[in-house]
Amino acid sequence: MTHTTTPDLASPDWDRALGFTIPDRHARGRVVRLGPVLDTILAAHAYPPAIERLLAEALTLTALIGATLKDPSAQLTMQTQTEAGVVTLLVCDYRDGEVRGYVQYDAERLAQAPAEPSLFALFGKGYLAITFDLASTGERYQGIVPLDGDTLADAAQSYFYQSEQIPTLVRVGMAKDADGRCVAGGLLLQHLPEGEVGRERLHTRLDHPEWEHVAALGQTVGAEELTDVALPLETLVWRLFNEESEVRVLAAQPIVRGCRCTIEHIRSVLAKFPSEERMTMADEAGVIAVDCAFCATVFPLRAEDLSLEASSTRH
């Protein structure tokens, strides 16, 4: 197995994604493990356990799939659509190693649900939408699949086969460390049909012998390995595929919390509204409080100051 970087074995191995290929099997994969980044995002909203587990899985999937993007300006967005579900909105996105996400839910209905509710209990008749925005070309494409599996990982796996005709295996695990902090890990494996690179794609088969072999190995990974911060991702890949003649490990991608809200951005957005509308947004003290749903940060801005800024800009 060849690789380009080796982690510091004395430090926990988390908050990064590692890609790899298995040339002889026409397969590629990616492993990711989230630690402090995940814990920071979850802590911003003090979610109950069921919602915490759901968002942890969604963020891990977002990092797994998003890290496959080659264009640093491209963005991946995962969003659920639900009909009368406990969860009214779940959205996560990834751009150039930055992840963020949040969940809106009905607290009263969640309190009536089991301690570990099923995906159907949370979403009812729900759907998962995965959207790719490719900034360099201006292209945008989206796939939507029903949330009819046991986990979000099942839905993501179905997306690749239904929308992109790529046989895919997805595994996600979550655990709490000794200090009660969340750690999550994931594995994404895909088969690249013969002839895809440089020639017309010949066929896509779930029962292709190469894919059956790689998928069988990938299915042996457990949540304990995915979330073991003492186990380097490179070692995890080696454990799974050490009998292959060649496994090429790519440069690791660091993962960071990436909420893009800034006071400057919020000012620019509010400045586009007429002065009269800005005044209706303000409280009795003349302050407009803008709450970022992703990081739960409140940005207070005086409506009068925005009016003065807009006036000085015009002059």
On whether the CB atoms of residues 6 and 234 are closer than 8 A, the answer is: yes
Quote the pLDDT of residue 179.
83
Q: Which residues of the chain does CATH 3.55.30.10 include? A: 16-257
By percentage, how much of the chain surpasses pLDDT 70?
A: 83
Asked if pLDDT for residue 199 goes beyond 70, the answer is no
**How buried is residue 28: exposed, middle or buried, by Cβ count under 10 Å (0-12/13-18/19+)?**
buried
At the topology level, CATH places domain 263-314 in CBS domain Like (3.90.1280)
Asked if pLDDT for residue 99 goes beyond 60, the answer is yes
Each residue's pLDDT tens digit, 22-34? 999 999 999 999 9
Question: Which of left, alpha, beta for 86 (phi over 0: left; psi -120 to 50: alpha)?
Answer: alpha
Q: Which residues of the chain does CATH 3.90.1280.10 include? A: 263-314
Each residue's pLDDT tens digit, 269-301? 777 778 888 788 878 888 777 666 666 666 677
Each residue's pLDDT tens digit, 118-176? 999 999 989 999 999 988 888 898 999 999 889 999 999 999 988 888 899 999 999 98
At the topology level, CATH places domain 16-257 in Hsp33 domain (3.55.30)
Average pLDDT across the chain, whole number: 85
Between CA 6 and CA 232 the distance in angstroms is 8
Quote the pLDDT of residue 7.
46
On whether the CB atoms of residues 278 and 288 are closer than 8 A, the answer is: yes
262: tokens are 């800034």
Tell me which of 63 and 137 has the higher pLDDT: 63
Q: Specify the pTM.
A: 0.83
